[in-house]
Chains A and B, each alone.
Chain A
Amino acid sequence: MSAFQYTLAVVAVVSLVTGAIRFSPFLIFRKKTPGFVLYLGKVLPFAIIGMLVVYCLKDINFLQGSRGIPEAIAVLATALIHKWKHNTLLSILIGTILYMIAIIYL
C-alpha cells in the first residue's frame, strides 16, 4: 500500500465507523437499544478520555532527554487553569504555548 492509499484507507475507515455509529440509532435501535450498548455509551466516554490522555503521553522517556518534565508542567498547568477558569480554548492555548516554550529550554 502506498502512503496515499494508506491515508485514504484510514480516512475512509474513520469516516465509515463514525457514520455507522451516528446512523445506527436511526436504523437499528429504532425500537429498543440493547442494554449493554446503552451502558457502554454511558460510561465509555469517561474511560476513553482517560485512555487518550495516556495515549498522548505514551512516548515520554523518564530516563532520557527532558524526562517528561515539559509534559508534566504543561498537563498540570492545563488542568489547573481549566479548573480555575473553565474556558476550554484558554486552557488549551496556555497549556500548548507553555509546552512549546518548555521544550526549547528544558
Chain B
Amino acid sequence: MKQAWIASLPVMAGYVVLGIGFGIILNNNGYSWIWSTVMAITIYAGSMQYVTANLLAKGASLLAVALMTLMVNLRHIFYGITMLEDYKVAGKEKPYLIFALTDETFSLVCSPKLEEGVSKRGYYFWVSLFNQLYWIFGCTIGSILASAVNFQFKGVDFSMTALFVVIFVEQWESQKNHLPAITGVCASVICLLLFGSSDFLIPAMILITVLLFVEKRWILSESDDKTRKNQEGESE
C-alpha cells in the first residue's frame, strides 16, 4: 500500500488539477457538483469527461455520444490486452481493476518496480483506488469551488482545448509517421466545412476510420512499434 501510494504521487498532481478544471467547466455549464462527482465515479476517463461536458451543453444525440466515447476511449483496449496475464493474480477486486484502468493507472501498473516482499495484487489494487480517489477529489472540489466563489470563469473551458493541444504535441513528437494525426485534423476540417459545426462529428469519425484503413499500408510500413502506445500514459 505504501509503495502504491508513493508510485501514485505524480498522478495525484495531474488528476487533482485536471479534475478541478473539469469541475469548473461542468459548474459553468450549470450542473451541480453532484454530477461532477457522479461522472468521476462512473465514467472515470479524463479527456472523455471534458468532451462529455461539451456534448451535454450542445445537446448531442445519444448515438453521437456513444460513437464519440468509442472513438476517444478505444485505446483502452490496449491496456486491457497488456494486463490480461498480470491481472490474473487478482481475485474479487479484478472487475474494479479492469474498470479503473485509465491511461495513468496503466502507466503505473504495466511495469511496476516493486521492492522485495511487496505483493503485486495489493499494489495493483491500491494504485487503482488511489488514482480514482484523486480524480474524484479533484472533480468534486473544482465544482464546489466554482459554485462557492460564484464567479463566471469566462474562457476557462479553453483548458479542454489546451489539454488536447498538449496531447497532440506529445503524440506528434512520439511518432515518426504523422499520417494518422494529419488525417484526423484534415478529415475533421473537411467535414466541418461540409456539414457545419453542429453536425460534423459523426461524418468526421466515419471518414477518419475509412481513411485510416485506406492508408493502412503507408502507416504500417513506417511505424510498426507497439511500445510507443505505452508512452501515451500521460495523455489524459
Please, how many angstroms separate the alpha-carbon atoms of A10 and B76 in the complex?
A: 20
Contact of A46 among B45, B181, B216 (CB under 8 A): B181
**Secondary structure dominating the interface of A:** helix
Taking CB atoms and an 8 Å cut-off, the chain A residues in 31-70 that contact chain B are 33, 36-37, 39-59, 70
| Docked-complex contact A50 and B185, CB < 8 angstroms | yes
Scan B160-204; emit 1 where CB is below 8 A from any A CB, else 0. Answer: 111111111111010100101111110111001000010011001
Contact of B212 among A47, A91, A100 (CB under 8 A): A47
| Docked-complex contact A44 and B162, CB < 8 angstroms | no
Contact of A45 among B75, B80, B205 (CB under 8 A): B75
Please, how many angstroms separate the alpha-carbon atoms of A25 and B204 in the complex?
A: 26
Name the distance in Å between A40's Cβ and chain B's nearest Cβ. 6
Q: Determine the chain B residues whose CB is within 8 A of the CB of A46 once the complex forms.
A: 171, 175, 178, 180-181, 184
Taking CB atoms and an 8 Å cut-off, the chain B residues in 186-234 that contact chain A are 187-189, 192, 197, 200-201, 204-205, 208-209, 212-213, 216, 219-220, 226, 229, 232, 234
Q: Determine the chain B residues whose CB is within 8 A of the CB of A51 once the complex forms.
A: 71, 184-185, 187-188, 204-205, 208
- Interface residue count for B (Cβ, 8 Å)? 93
Known: A14-B52, A18-B76, A42-B78. A48 touches B208 (CB 8 A): yes
- Interface residue count for A (Cβ, 8 Å)? 63
Asked if B66 is at the interface (CB within 8 A of a chain A CB), the reply is yes
| Docked-complex contact A95 and B55, CB < 8 angstroms | no
Q: Determine the chain A residues whose CB is within 8 A of the CB of B130 once the complex forms.
A: none
| Docked-complex contact B47 and A52, CB < 8 angstroms | yes
| Docked-complex contact A11 and B42, CB < 8 angstroms | yes
Scan B114-137; emit 1 where CB is below 8 A from any A CB, else 0. Answer: 000000000000000000000000
Given contacts A7-B31, A17-B66, A95-B158, 14 further A-B contacts (CB under 8 A): A10-B56, A18-B45, A22-B98, A40-B74, A44-B180, A47-B208, A51-B208, A55-B51, A58-B200, A79-B168, A82-B170, A91-B166, A95-B161, A96-B21
